[in-house]
């Protein structure tokens, strides 16, 4: 393949980033989605089943510390896999300069352990965990990649398979080196080797060849971190020693156990995003003291009595013959002319009078209150604000007395479930007014 070639009519090859016996990796441009991807193309002589297994294992994972797979296919160029492009290099690149600062070592260890937790929770074992398979995105977040050896935890993994060394010898677990099945604790051992190197800048075992290294992992006790670096953080040194135990049962069981040892919460697992706003409900108000409730009831009753009295006056003003409606109330009297006087406490109202023909009764004679048919006119009068109203009609000396309609007020308090309701009912001139209040 050459720069500029296209794979599957979609991926343009921009830059060759790595080549090995099994595959080559290109930085490519996905023309369909307009994004940069890492395009891994299988070599003609490589293991196709393993390549497909890597694609399937990667597609089943979705975590911020795991490299994502976008696409898989087979083209004239060969089987390919489009992966998340990670531009930050690998952990192997960073370890080329020696040990990593302790704070950064702790952060990277947490990220690697979180990625392992995601794999192990889904029944997968990486089986080839090493610094070259820990990549970084542009924000410096570590991500696990290269799942070509990843299999279900119950699967069998041997040191050799069709002549291929499974697991880089410098990071392989004793059980894998012995041809035994690999489990989550196997990844924990490889994690221990990586942590040892981040703290000290060196490997726990160095040999002339892969088989010699495998034998050392199986039988030789690893050196203590403190023997190479006396000022190493005790908790990280202790975790390294625990992860490098020969017996898998003596190590932290899986990625989640590593996270717990590192003090990281399992909340780093991916969670579904929240769609609803968190709502804080205010606690219910405490009940008012009994004395306050009684005072509130008395005040409410007094207010209702005042409302009832006002309702009685209103009813009298509206219902008596010829009365004008108070301000804001439409009068229902037919043919009556009303207006407000400038005098305080008086109201100018038009009282209907019945005349014989065009003229009223003779001057000086008292009007008899009888119902006659005839013409009704309006006469101006002044109404004081008292129950008995003397009425003087201009042009006559007759005094007519009107009596306020009977007003009855009834107040009824009712208590239900701790709530007191007071109702005041006023009846005046055939009109009933009701006011209620709750305390």
The whole-number pLDDT of residue 37 equals 96
pTM more than 0.85: no
pLDDT of residue 208: 85
Q: Are 12 and 98 contained in the same domain? A: no
Which of 79-83, 238-242, 261-265, 315-319 is the least confident region?
315-319
Known catalytic residues?
128
317 pLDDT more than 80:
no
Residues near 126 by beta carbon (within 8 Å), at least 6 away in sequence: 116, 119, 133, 144, 147, 149, 150, 187, 190
Dump pLDDT digits (tens) for 238-287: 999 999 999 999 999 999 999 999 985 333 344 444 334 434 444 445 55
**Within a domain: 50:** yes
Q: What is the pLDDT of residue 149?
A: 52
- The yes-or-no verdict on residue 216 having pLDDT over 90 is yes
Question: What's residue 436's pLDDT?
Answer: 53
Mean pLDDT of 197-209: 94
pLDDT band at 56 (very low <50, low <70, confident <90, very high): confident
Confidence of residue 315 (pLDDT cuts 50, 70, 90): low
Positive or negative CA dihedral for 110, 111, 112, 113?
Answer: positive
Cβ 110 vs Cβ 52: under 8 Å: no
The pLDDT assigned to 47 comes to: 87
pLDDT tens for 361-378 read 444 444 444 444 444 444
Indicate the pLDDT class of residue 194, thresholds 50, 70 and 90: very high
The per-residue pLDDT for 376 is 40
CA distance 195 to 41: 31
pLDDT at 437: 54
Mean pLDDT of the chain: 73
Which residues are bridge partners to 160 per DSSP? 165
Q: What range defines the domain where residue 250 resides?
A: 87-265
Identify whether residues 233 and 123 lie together within a single domain: yes
What's the pLDDT at 364? 45
State yes or no: pLDDT of 210 exceeds 60.
yes
Asked if residue 94 has pLDDT above 80, the reply is: yes
Q: What is the pLDDT of residues 163-178, one digit of tens each?
A: 344 458 999 999 999 9
Judged by average pLDDT, the poorest of 58-62, 204-208, 352-356, 424-428 is: 352-356
User: Which of 226, 241, 265 finishes a domain?
Assistant: 265
| pLDDT given for residue 209 in this prediction | 87
Q: Per the domain annotation, does 352 fall within a domain?
A: no
Question: Mean pLDDT over residues 400-416, rounded?
Answer: 49
Domain annotation covers residue 79: yes
Q: How far from chain centre, in Å, is Cα 51?
A: 40
174 and 225 belong to one structural domain: yes
Query: Distance between CA 27 and CA 358 in Å, rounded?
Result: 114
Task: Give CA–CA dist 84/187, Å, rounded.
Answer: 23
Q: Is 171 helix (H, G, I), strand (E, B) or coil?
A: helix
**Is 54 in the same domain as 108?**
no
Task: Report phi then psi at 250, rounded to 5.
Answer: -90, -5
Q: 3-state class of 335 per DSSP?
A: coil
Across 368-418, where does the E strand assignment appear? 375-383, 388-392, 399-403, 407-416
Q: Are residues 37 and 115 in the same domain?
A: no
Report the percentage of the chain scoring pLDDT > 70: 56
Task: Tell me the average pLDDT across 72-79.
Answer: 91
Say if 148 falls within a structural domain.
yes
Check residue 34 and give left, alpha or beta (phi > 0: left; psi -120 to 50: alpha). Answer: left
State mean pLDDT over 47-61: 85
Domain boundary among 85, 111, 128: 85
Residue 174, domain member (yes or no): yes
Predicted confidence at residue 381, as pLDDT, reads 40
| Boundary-marking domain end, from 216, 246, 265 | 265
CATH code assigned at 74: 3.30.200.20
Q: Which pLDDT score is estimated for 58?
A: 82
φ, ψ for residue 191 (rounded to 5)?
Answer: -60, -40
Contacts of 399 (CB under 8 A, 6+ apart): 390, 391, 392
The model's confidence at residue 72, banded by pLDDT at 50, 70 and 90, is very high
pLDDT range class, residue 224, cuts 50, 70, 90: very high
**pLDDT over 90 (residue 187):** yes
Q: Is residue 402 part of a domain?
A: no
Output the domain CATH number for residue 154.
Answer: 1.10.510.10
Task: List, for residues 113-158, the tens digit of each pLDDT value.
Answer: 999 999 999 988 998 999 999 999 999 999 998 865 555 554 444 3
- Please indicate, yes or no, whether residues 2 and 110 belong to a single structural domain of this protein: no
Q: Is residue 39 part of a domain?
A: yes
């Amino acid at each position: 393949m050459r720069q500029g070639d296209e794979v599957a009519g979609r991926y343009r090859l921009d830059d060759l980033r790595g080549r090995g016996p099994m595959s080559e990796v290109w930085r490519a441009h996905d023309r369909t989605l307009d994004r940069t991807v890492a395009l891994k193309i299988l070599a003609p002589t490589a293991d196709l089943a393993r390549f497909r297994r890597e694609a399937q294992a990667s597609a089943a994972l979705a975590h911020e510390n795991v490299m994502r797979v976008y696409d898989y296919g087979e083209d004239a160029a060969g089987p390919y896999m489009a992966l998340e492009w990670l531009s930050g290099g690998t952990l192997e690149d960073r370890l080329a300069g020696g040990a990593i600062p302790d704070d950064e070592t702790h952060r990277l260890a947490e990220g690697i352990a979180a990625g392992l937790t995601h794999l192990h929770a889904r029944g997968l074992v990486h089986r080839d965990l090493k610094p070259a398979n820990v990549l970084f995105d542009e924000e410096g977040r570590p991500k696990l990649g290269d799942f070509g050896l990843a299999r279900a935890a119950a699967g069998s993994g041997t040191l050799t398979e069709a002549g291929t060394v499974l697991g880089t010898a410098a990071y392989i677990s004793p059980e894998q080196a012995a041809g035994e099945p690999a489990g989550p604790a196997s990844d924990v051992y490889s994690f221990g080797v990586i942590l040892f190197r981040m703290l000290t800048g060196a490997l726990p075992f160095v040999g002339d060849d892969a088989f010699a290294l495998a034998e050392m992992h199986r039988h030789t006790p690893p050196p203590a971190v403190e023997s190479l670096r006396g000022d190493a953080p005790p908790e990280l040194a202790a975790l390294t020693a625990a992860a490098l135990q020969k017996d898998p049962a003596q190590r932290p069981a899986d990625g989640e156990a590593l996270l717990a040892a590192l003090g990281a919460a399992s909340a780093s697992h991916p969670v579904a995003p929240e769609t609803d706003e968190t709502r804080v409900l205010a606690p219910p108000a405490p009940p008012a003291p009994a004395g306050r409730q009684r005072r509130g009831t008395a005040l409410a009753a007094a207010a209702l009595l005042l409302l009832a009295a006002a309702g009685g006056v209103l009813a009298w003003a509206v219902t008596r013959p010829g009365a004008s409606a108070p301000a804001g109330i439409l009068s229902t009297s037919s043919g009556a002319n009303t207006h407000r006087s400038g005098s305080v406490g008086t109201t100018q109202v038009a009282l209907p009078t019945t005349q014989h023909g065009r003229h009223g009764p003779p001057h000086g004679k008292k009007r008899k209150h009888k119902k006659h048919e005839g013409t009704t006119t309006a006469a101006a009068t002044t109404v004081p604000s008292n129950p008995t109203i003397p009425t003087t009609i201009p042009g006559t000396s007759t005094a007519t007395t009107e009596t306020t309609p009977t007003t009855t007020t009834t107040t009824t308090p009712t208590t239900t479930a701790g709530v007191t309701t007071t109702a005041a009912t006023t009846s005046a001139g055939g009109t009933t007014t009701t006011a209620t209040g709750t305390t």
